[in-house]
Structure 1
Amino acid sequence: MAKDRKDTTKDKSEEDGGKRARGASAAAALRTKVAQVIWLVCVLCALALALGALLIALKANTTNSLVQFVLDAADTVDLGVFSMDDGIKQFENKKGKPEEIKNALVNYGLGAVAWLVVGRILDRIIRP
């Protein structure tokens, strides 16, 4: 009879350990998925900025709806810090007019790099 009690206690502790292991595994899987989603969002923001800079450098037709969509997306994810109009670095020509292509390449390029760095840091912090 005493032997049966020990077996029951042992089975119960093994069962609790299995539940904890499954819970930890599920939490690790969730953290991995969240980290992947955050990394994907950051990469898409960086891609929008890079494409926006490229379209401005190529002097793409801004009346085209796809070009306008990409430029609007880039303007949205620049967070005002990497804006073409009032960004980190502003270039002007000899007449005092802004150099649109240089401003786009530098500011949107820095913004894309910043999104990638922040995304990778968050990915490393969140991922188990």
Structure 2
Amino acid sequence: MAQLVWLVCVLAALVLAIGALLIALKDTVNRDNDAVKFVLDLANKIDLGVFDRKDGVFGFDDKNAETAEVKDALLNWGLAAIVWLVAGRIVDRIIRP
């Protein structure tokens, strides 16, 4: 059971990291692609609302809105990925005898 919890948390962190990377690579990634939409939608759902890339813990108000979007995604989703990994490790240690 502990391994399953750890796996779910690692997968959530991976989706958030890939989502942040896709936002950062906006010029080379086709956001109309179904796979890209799926990853971004899933990352939006598992960011727990606290680490939302548009209205998260940290927000950047750059003059360039595209740069602010990239910074918001990298910082907020990066923090969310770290939180998923830490929480997963803690729950893993609690469950594991």
TM-score range, shorter chain: over 0.9
Structure of greater Rg: 1
Could you tell me which runs of 5 or more consecutive residues in structure 1 were left unpaired when the two chains were aligned: 1-33
Among residues 28, 47, 53, which one is paired with 2:20 in the alignment? 53
Q: Which amino acid counterpart does residue 50 of structure 1 have in structure 2?
A: A
Which segments of 5 or more consecutive residues in structure 2 lack a partner in the other structure?
Answer: none
- Write the letter of the residue equivalent to 2:16: L
- Distance in 2 (CA, whole Å) between partners of 1:93 and 1:36 is 42
Alpha-carbon distance in structure 2 between the residues aligned to 1:61 and 1:104? 17
Q: Which has the higher contact order (CA 8 A, sep 6+)?
A: 2
TM-score, normalised to structure 2, is 0.92
Runs of 4+ in 1 over 2 A off after TM superposition: none
2:58 to 89, 102, 108: 89
State whether structure 2 residue 57 is matched by structure 1 residue 100. Answer: no
Secondary structure of the residue aligned to 1:85 is coil
CA distance in 2, matches of 1:94, 1:36: 45
The Cα of 1:94 is off from its aligned counterpart by: 3.0
Percent identity of paired positions between Structure 1 and Structure 2: 61
Q: How many residues in Structure 1 have an aligned counterpart in Structure 2?
A: 94
- Equivalent residue runs for 1:115-126 within 5 Å: 115-126=84-95
CA RMSD of aligned residues (A): 1.2
CA-CA distance at 1:93 after TM superposition: 1.1
Matching of residues 9-48 of structure 1 within 5 Å: 34-48=1-15
Q: Identify, as 1 or 2, the structure richer in helix.
A: 1
TM-score (norm 1): 0.71
